[in-house]
Amino acid sequence: MRKIKIISTGKYLPKKIVSGIEIDRILGLSEGRSAQMSGVESRHYVEDESASEMGAYALMAALEKSELNYDDIDAILCASGTAEQALPCTAALIQRQMKRPDRSIPCFDINSTCLSFVTAMDVASSLLETSRYKTIAIVSTEIASVGLNPNEHEAYSLFGDGAAAVVVSRGSETDRSRVIHASMKTFSEGSDFCKIRGGGTRFHPSKYDGKSEIFQFSMEGRKIFKMVLENMEEFFNQSLSDANIKLEEIKFVIPHQASASGMELVRRKLKIPLEKYVDILKDHGNMIAASIPLGLHYLVASGKIARGEKIMLLGTSAGVSLGTLILEY
């Protein structure tokens, strides 16, 4: 039993909104083509915002909606697929943006690419269960726009920037909120299907011209779809079976917002009813690890989910990894 209660959620979306038509213009496509390809009609792109600023704004927004304040938080976990700097970790930079130097709470990053938030919730539930921490801020903050390759139309059409934050604690003795089951698999023979090769120690920026495509996101969409579809059904059914839960008992499934076609293929394969399937792709694009917590935020903020109801987070990520986390809200 790993008790974890979602106390509150918050988001920050960059001020600048970029329509599909603007993407069409950048890529030299006919009007409507990028939205048709990706299912994304508009997304946010940063102008002057940094990842840590967005993360701090999202956390402040989450705290505003709760009875807690920043003094109650005893750790910041940044759960993002991209980093603000090569060093130090983004969580420390988010702490700095909170502008409370008296609060020297521990900061670290958890990264499993687009699954980072799901992994962080999973890890946080163990950290709370063992009383290592009492109240944790999990922040996913992503800037995808800087790494897109205009020669890869599908991927370029797909991504957006933004941040989401979720404050979690163990809850009271009578709270039933908990992780019912979590599961993850990494199929690293596909680690090359979805990547940004450069920027780290292998293809270090000092060895390449800044214009090199090596620093841009590259995706072999068909290969990654094939790998996900081949493994997802068994993985998903095993998760439900291990959790001893039927899909009918789950109120909402929040999938990673990979792409409209990818999400729909997965939904059909897993026979998830449309009304259960949280879809925020159209106005946000794929926001890497921030997609799932943003979906969760909209569920919570809209009042669509009530305490005692069950949610499944269903992630796919570069790696290639699959992840589920079934929780009672």
317, 324, 326, 329: residue in contact with a copy of itself (rule CB under 8 A) = 317
The least distance separating a copy of itself from the CB of residue 207, rounded to whole angstroms, comes to: 6
For 250, the token pair is 């789950």
| Integer angstrom CA distances of residue 156 from 36, 100, 303, 309 | 13, 37, 33, 36
73, 107, 180, 305: residue in contact with a copy of itself (rule CB under 8 A) = 107
For residues 31 and 234, which CB has a smaller minimum distance to a copy of itself in the complex? 234
What residues between 280 and 309 interact with a copy of itself by CB under 8 A?
Answer: none
| Binding map of a copy of itself across residues 63-82, x = CB under 8 A, - = no contact | -------------x----xx
Rg, C-alpha atoms of the chain = 19
Is 79 in contact with 138 (CB distance < 8 Å)?
Answer: yes
Residues 6+ apart with CB under 8 A from 223: 190, 193
What residues between 113 and 132 interact with a copy of itself by CB under 8 A?
Answer: 113, 115-116, 119, 122-123, 125-127, 129-130, 132
321, 325, 326, 328: residue in contact with a copy of itself (rule CB under 8 A) = 321
Is 257 in contact with 317 (CB distance < 8 Å)?
Answer: no
Nearest to 256 by CA among 234, 285, 276: 285
Interface stretch with a copy of itself, choices 4-12, 152-160, 201-209, 255-263 (CB under 8 A) = 201-209
The least distance separating a copy of itself from the CB of residue 302, rounded to whole angstroms, comes to: 29
What residues between 81 and 100 interact with a copy of itself by CB under 8 A?
Answer: 81-93, 95-96
For residues 235 and 298, which CB has a smaller minimum distance to a copy of itself in the complex? 235
For residues 8 and 80, which CB has a smaller minimum distance to a copy of itself in the complex? 80
If one asks whether residue 58 binds a copy of itself (CB under 8 A), the answer comes out as no
If one asks whether residue 55 binds a copy of itself (CB under 8 A), the answer comes out as no
The least distance separating a copy of itself from the CB of residue 76, rounded to whole angstroms, comes to: 8
d(CA 278, CA 294): 10
215, 225, 277, 329: residue in contact with a copy of itself (rule CB under 8 A) = 215
5, 61, 109, 162: residue in contact with a copy of itself (rule CB under 8 A) = 109
For 274, the token pair is 């449309």
The least distance separating a copy of itself from the CB of residue 105, rounded to whole angstroms, comes to: 7
If one asks whether residue 222 binds a copy of itself (CB under 8 A), the answer comes out as no
Nearest to 166 by CA among 315, 329, 6: 6
9, 140, 216, 291: residue in contact with a copy of itself (rule CB under 8 A) = 216
Indicate the DSSP class of residue 101: T
d(CA 257, CA 279): 7
Q: Which residues of 57-70 are buried (b: 16+ CB within 10 A; e: fewer)?
A: bbbbbbbeebebeb
For 202, the token pair is 């292998």
Is 48 in contact with 203 (CB distance < 8 Å)?
Answer: no
Is 97 in contact with 56 (CB distance < 8 Å)?
Answer: yes
If one asks whether residue 182 binds a copy of itself (CB under 8 A), the answer comes out as yes
18, 35, 51, 254: residue in contact with a copy of itself (rule CB under 8 A) = 51
Is 77 in contact with 91 (CB distance < 8 Å)?
Answer: yes
If one asks whether residue 16 binds a copy of itself (CB under 8 A), the answer comes out as no
The least distance separating a copy of itself from the CB of residue 69, rounded to whole angstroms, comes to: 18
If one asks whether residue 104 binds a copy of itself (CB under 8 A), the answer comes out as yes
